[in-house]
Amino acid sequence: MAPVKVLNVAEKPSVAKEISAILSGGNRAPRRRQGGSDYNPIWEFGCQIRGELVDMVFTSVRGHLLEMEFVEPYCKNWHACRPGDLFTIPVEKKVGKDKESLERCLKSEARVCQRLILWLDCDLEGENIAFEVMDVCRAANSRLRVERARFSALIPREIWHALEHLVEPNVYQSEAVNARMEIDLRIGAAFTRFQTLKLQGKFDGVEDSIISYGPCQFPTMGFVVDRYKAIESFQREEFWRIQMAYRGGREDGDGGPQGITRFQWKRERLFDEAACAVLYVMVVEAKEARVTHVNAAPATRDRPLPLSTVELQKKASRLGQGGRKGGRGKGIGKKGEWEERRWRRMRGASSGTWGRANFGARYIS
């Protein structure tokens, strides 16, 4: 009896290549052949799923396979209806012109396979693309058994765990993306057509221009402008604070490096230099301090969750990593230059003379 043939689809060609290399066992490189495009090859290799030997066919797409559009004739003809009618006119999802070769490839492979495993990214968009791939493949082979692989990293342990614990695709996550796409399409198209048709011919330079409106771009522009105005109107104000630390006890581990305990001022800062100086003199002249209360409690930190691309870029930005640099992931989450620079900054921040109150220089907010 011939082994079951399994069609696997990833969201990117690089992911398909990497997973194929992992699942082929590394002893024998997977065989490559032409796929839906020069950028989406097909990888073939033998593999075991829960003890069953199967023939794996692994290919990929390039993001979304389908596009949401209004039904004809309202899709391209701006004068077929009033802009306001676009809020109720039916919409449909169909394969984009640039993805037709991928559609043909998926249908061709699906006809000779018995199972379909979806290796799309594990986020809402990935779930929606998974259903797009499933719909295209089932149009060619309605008997396909469809399963979803969920993974968070391209490492053997994660990939094998995903293969051994296949699940059903999540229709609710996919429908959430469809709802968002439909809202974006209806609002964007209605207002873009409305203001373009109204303003063309009334102002110089816009006769042949499309004046676009987007439900995402306008709020984003508002956030950018608000932040710009806040930065431009910011007034610097000097403030002063008292910093105090104590070195004692064991050589290491008492509240910080080399037994240093740092105290936090409940007031945090003063905007009056003279008042802060008076308090500083009182602290120095007192010579002794008495601990009135010690509050100790165990602290638990959960291990970090896998990051989406947006969250990764946000955290990378806070650490001084640019968008492209942070997106590549070089130097973040591994011991390297970034860790060394961070360690040096921490060492520099903790240097100084301890065991007495320090009235530091002016601090600018």
> Which of 40-44, 256-260, 305-309 has the weakest average pLDDT?
256-260
Backbone torsions φ then ψ of 71, nearest 5 degrees: -65, 155
Render pLDDT for 312-359 as a digit per residue (tens, 0 to 9).
Answer: 888 888 888 765 554 444 433 443 444 445 444 444 444 333 333 333
For residue 265, the model assigns a pLDDT of 86
Three-state SS annotation for the chain: CCCEEEEEEECCHHHHHHHHHHHCCCCCCCEEEEEEECCEEEEEEEEEECCEEEEEEEEECCCCCEEEEECCCCCCCCCCCCHHHHHCCCEEEEECHHHHHHHHHHHHHHHCCCEEEEECCCCHHHHHHHHHHHHHHHHHCCCCEEEECCCCCCCHHHHHHHHHCCECCCHHHHHHHHHHHHHHHHHHHHHHHHHHHHHCCCCCCCCCCCCCCCCCHHHHHHHHHHHHHHHHCCCCCEEECCEEEEECCCCCCCCCHHHEEEECCCCCCECCHHHHHHHHHHHHHHCCCCCCCCCCCCCCCCCCCCCCHHHHHHHHHHCCCCHHHHHHCCCCCCCCHHHHHHHHHHHHHHCCCCCCEECCCCEEC
For residue 217, the model assigns a pLDDT of 82
> Which of 164-168, 181-185, 290-294 has the weakest average pLDDT?
290-294
pTM for this prediction: 0.64
Render pLDDT for 51-84 as a digit per residue (tens, 0 to 9).
Answer: 889 999 999 999 999 999 999 999 888 989 999 9
Query: CA-to-CA distance for 54 and 29, rounded, in angstroms?
Result: 16
Look up residue 222 and give its two tokens.
């508002």
Confidence of residue 193 (pLDDT cuts 50, 70, 90): very high
- Domains of the chain as residue ranges with CATH: 4-173 (3.40.50.140), 236-290+341-365 (no CATH)
Query: CA-to-CA distance for 130 and 348, rounded, in angstroms?
Result: 49
